[in-house]
Amino acid sequence: MIEKNTILVTSIGRTGTEFFAKLFADIIPDCASLHEPDIIKFPGVKDRSAHYSQQIQRAGFWRMVVLKALGKWTLARLSDSKLLGKLSASEAAKNLHTQRNEFISRMPGSVYVESNLGYYGLIDVIPDVFKNYRTIYIVRDGRDWVRSTLNWGEVYGKGRIRNLFAHKWPTAKDVKNDEFVNQWDGLSRFEQLCWAWSRLNGYALNTIPKNSYARMYKFEDIFIDENRYQTLDDLVSFAVSLPGIHSESLKQTDGWLEQKIHQSSNKSFPAWENWSTDQKYQFEKICGPVMEKLGYKV
């Protein structure tokens, strides 16, 4: 098993995962904290070469170029395969260990933190791979997630040309006996995103009880609620409750929630109040059960 103290933060994206990577890097001494080390980022053209070079330097040429091209160094694809029933739990655990054991062992520091959407489908197999760990799952109100993702333009993206390394998100056509399998091609991107929010979050939430050291937090409780610092401190306390990490050595979280990291764009798609009657109906039809389970009022 991977013995190094490990903190894993995951979600289906658009939930501030980059924020947590930077937060833990700052407040935990002797810590290596990475945000999606196996997902290629494509910033503006001016910075692209330098940014990609930094990723290769961090993860290694063999992993980032060769193995990733072969689909053998990507947790997102691993989670997708498990979600779709293409991998058993034991196979997923073995693959996760293969992808992360040597990589984490060579990271500096006594604590490894990874904030990565790629763990969304692996929550229940993490106990079979990591000896000392904490898992945090962040969920966001489906209405805000759909809006943010529509405006950001990544999931079921607007462009038709996909990069060789891009993550191809699961669809209803990939899921056996899914109720939307025959409708998928006729669904709008808005409806497809509603499906993704419901299906992927629903899967993750069902696996959390199988992981004794996994805890779910709401995005709104951390970043919006008036008691947000209390929630953030609870999250941090849970995350660092690992052998050898002493609370007195941690920096305070004061001021962190005033920082804006990878903020949502304010583009064209409106907030819930301005959705059409049909959009609200479709959202409630697709996302309603999971929204209710999470305690979000529609």
250 found inside a domain: yes
What's the pLDDT score for residue 40? 65
**Joined tokens for residue 274:** 């301005």
What pLDDT is attached to residue 132? 98
Residue range(s) defining the domain that contains residue 219: 5-39+74-294
Q: Could you give the CA distance from residue 131 to residue 139 in angstroms, rounded to a whole number? A: 25
Residue 241 belongs to a domain: yes
CATH code, domain carrying 202: 3.40.50.300
The tally of domains found in the chain comes to: 1
Count of residues for the chain? 298
Residue 120, SS3 per DSSP:
coil
**Residue in the block written with tokens 């529509």:** 150
Does any domain span residue 61? no
**pTM of whole model > 0.85?**
yes
Domain annotation covers residue 135: yes
- What is residue 224's predicted lDDT score, i.e. its pLDDT? 96
Distance from C-alpha of 60 to C-alpha of 76, rounded to nearest angstrom = 18
pLDDT score at 298? 85
In sequence order, what E strands does 144-290 have?
A: 214-218
Residues of the chain with confidence (pLDDT) below 70: 40-73, 153, 158-166, 260-267
Task: Give the model's pLDDT for residue 38.
Answer: 81
Question: Does 24 reside within a domain?
Answer: yes
Q: How far apart are CA 79 and CA 62, in angstroms?
A: 21
Dist CA 258 CA 235 (whole Å): 17
Element (H, E) at 281: helix 277-294
Nearest one of 131, 124, 97 to 243, comparing CA atoms: 131
Residue 66 lies in a domain: no
Report yes or no on 58 lying in a domain: no
Q: What is the pLDDT of residues 149-201, one digit of tens each?
A: 999 867 897 554 444 456 789 999 999 999 999 999 999 999 999 999 999 99
For residue 57, being part of any structural domain is answered with no
